[in-house]
Amino acid sequence: IGWTAAGLFGALPYYWGGVFNTFADAFFESLSGFTTTGASVLCNIEMVPRGFLFWRSLTHWLGGMGIIVLSLAILPLLGIGGMQLYKAEVPGPVPDKLKPRIRDTAMVLWKVYVLFSVAETLLLMLGGMDLFEALCHTFGTMATGGFSTRNASIGAYNSPYIDTVIIMFMLFAGINFSLHYQCLKGDCLAFWRNSEFRFFIGIVAIFCLVVTFNIYHSAYETLSGAIRFGVFQVLSIITTTGYATADYELWPPLSQSILLFCMFLGACAGSTGGGMKCLRIMLLLKHSYKQLFSLIHPHAVTQVKLGGHPISDEVLHSIWGYFMFYLGLFILCSFLLAAMGVDVVTSFAAAAATIGNIGPGLGLVGPTDNYAHIPVLGKWLLILCMLVGRLEIYTVLVLFVPEFWRK
C-alpha cells in the first residue's frame, strides 16, 4: 500500500503540470521512479522542464533506500513491525545484522548511501556536468534506477571519464551495503570473505570479458572502445541500473543474450538493485549440485552452506518457490503483452525489464526507445510487474492468503 501511495503521490506533479496527458502515463513514470525501475514513457526528455526532471530522478533516490528509513520511523507507530518491513523492502535477503535495532541499521545504511551520493556528485561535476545533471545522474546510479536528463542517456556526454565514474558507482550500488559499512569501519576484507560478493564479481568479470571480445571488431574498431562500452553495459544491466552509452541492439546476438540473462540475475542482496539477486542464484546452484551429488552418492550426507553456515531446507524451498513464481510471472506477463498486440521480443523484454526493475530492454523498449507505445492496459500490467518485482513477489502474494489476515 505504501509503495502504491508513493506512486500515486509522485504522479500528481506530472499530471497537474501537464507533462503527461493521461494519469496512467503519470503513474507509470512515478512508480517506475520509486521502484527504481527506470522504464519511461517520456518521448523527449530534454524538452521537459528541469523541475520535473529533478523530481523524476529524486523519486529514484527516495525509492532506493530513503523510503525504508522514513517508513521505519512511521509504520511502527501504526503497529507494523520494522523487521518485517525491512525484510520486505530492503532488496533481497540480508543476512548481516549491522546493529541490534532495525532503526539503527537503517540509519547506518542511510549514511553510507548519502556518502556515496555526495562523492559521485562531486566526481561527475569534475567531469563537466553541472550540479543539476550531476545530482540527477547520481540519484539514478545510487538507486540503480537509470533515469537520465538526456534522450541518449549517458551516451549523450560521450565522455570516458563520466562513463568510468558511473561504472564505479553502479558497481558500488550493486553490492551489499553492509559490506560497504564494514569497509568504512576498517574491515575491507569483509568483501572477500563474503561468498556472494565473490560470486557477483566473478560473474561480472566473465560477462565483461565475453562481451568485450564479442563486440571487438564487430561493433568497435578499438579494444579500448569495446572495453569501455562493454563493461558499462554489462554493469548497467546486471546492477539493474539501466543507463546506456550505446545501442546494444546493434551488438552481436551473443552479447545481447548475455545482457538478457543479466536482467534475470540482478545485483547482490542488500543492495538497491533488482532482479533475482546473486545470493538466490548462488544458493540455487549449490542446491542443484547437492541434488546431483546425492544421485551419484546416495549414501553421502551433504549440506548446502553459505559462508560456512548450513542453510536449512525451509530456506532453500522458499528460494525455489521464489524462482518458480518469478519465472511464472515473467511468462504470464509476456504472453499477456503479446495478446495485446505487442511483438514477441518486446513482450519478453518488457516483462523481464520491469519485473527485474531494470528499465530498458530489447526490441521496442530497447535503449533508444521507451514504453510510450505500449497499450494502456499493458502499461497497467507493467506497473504491477514493477511493484511486484520491487517487493520481491512473496510480499504481494501473502496479501492474497486468508490465513495472513486472520493472524
Q: Please report, for residues 36, 110, 114, 358, 392, the alpha-carbon distance to residue 3 in angstroms, rounded to integers and kept in the order given.
A: 12, 19, 22, 17, 13
Q: Which of 105-114, 202-211, 234-243 has the lowest mean pLDDT?
A: 105-114
Q: pLDDT by residue (tens digit) across 245-264? A: 999 999 999 999 999 999 99
pLDDT at 406 over 80: no
| Per-residue confidence band for 398, with pLDDT thresholds at 50, 70 and 90 | low
Sign of CA dihedral 359, 364, 370, 372: negative
DSSP state of 200: H
| Per-residue confidence band for 98, with pLDDT thresholds at 50, 70 and 90 | low
| Per-residue confidence band for 204, with pLDDT thresholds at 50, 70 and 90 | very high
Residue 6 grid cell: 508513493
Q: Which of 118-127, 156-165, 287-296, 339-348 has the lowest mean pLDDT?
A: 287-296
Residue 16 grid cell: 497537474
Pairing outcome for strands 309-310 and 305-306: antiparallel
Q: How far apart are CA 128 and CA 177, in angstroms?
A: 28
CB-CB neighbours of 164 under 10 Å:
15
Q: How far apart are CA 50 and CA 6, in angstroms?
A: 21
pLDDT at 103 over 80: no
CB-CB neighbours of 267 under 10 Å:
34
Q: How far apart are CA 86 and CA 399, in angstroms?
A: 17
Q: How far apart are CA 378 and CA 339, in angstroms?
A: 10
Residue listed under C-alpha cell 503513474: 27
Q: Please report, for residues 87, 104, 193, 362, 370, the alpha-carbon distance to residue 344 in angstroms, rounded to integers and kept in the order given.
A: 35, 47, 42, 10, 16
Q: pLDDT by residue (tens digit) across 314-351? A: 888 888 998 999 999 999 999 999 999 999 999 999 99
Percent of the chain topping pLDDT 70: 87
State the DSSP H helix or E strand holding residue 305, giving kind and residue range, or none if neither: strand 305-306
Sign of CA dihedral 17, 18, 21, 25: negative
| Per-residue confidence band for 177, with pLDDT thresholds at 50, 70 and 90 | confident
Q: In this structure, are residues 352 and 400 in contact, taking their beta carbons and an 8 Å threshold?
A: no
Q: Which of 203-212, 218-227, 285-294, 329-338 has the lowest mean pLDDT?
A: 285-294
HEC assignment per residue over 8-72: HHHHHHHHHCCCCCCHHHHHHHHHHHHCCCCCCCCCCHHHCCHHHHHHHHHHHHHHHHHHHHHHH
Specify the pLDDT at position 242: 93
Specify the pLDDT at position 309: 80
| Average pLDDT value for residue range 271-283 | 89
| Per-residue confidence band for 176, with pLDDT thresholds at 50, 70 and 90 | confident
Q: Is 270 left (phi over 0), alpha (psi -120 to 50) or beta?
A: left
Closest CA to 274 of 317, 324, 326: 326
HEC assignment per residue over 80-140: CCHHHHHHHHCCCCCCCCCCCCHHHHHHHHHHHHHHHHHHHHHHHHHCCCCHHHHHHHHHH
Percent of the chain topping pLDDT 90: 64
Q: pLDDT by residue (tens digit) across 126-150? A: 999 999 999 999 999 999 999 999 9
Contacts of 267 (CB under 8 A, 6+ apart): 91, 144, 173, 174, 175, 200, 238, 239, 240, 273, 274, 275, 277, 278
Specify the pLDDT at position 149: 95
Residue 223 grid cell: 579494444
Specify the pLDDT at position 75: 38
Closest CA to 88 of 115, 67, 62: 67
Q: In this structure, are residues 208 and 231 in contact, taking their beta carbons and an 8 Å threshold?
A: yes
Specify the pLDDT at position 122: 98
Q: Which of 26-35, 54-63, 74-83 has the lowest mean pLDDT?
A: 74-83
Residue listed under C-alpha cell 568510468: 164
Burial category of 132 from C-beta neighbours within 10 Å (exposed 0-12, middle 13-18, buried 19 and up):
middle
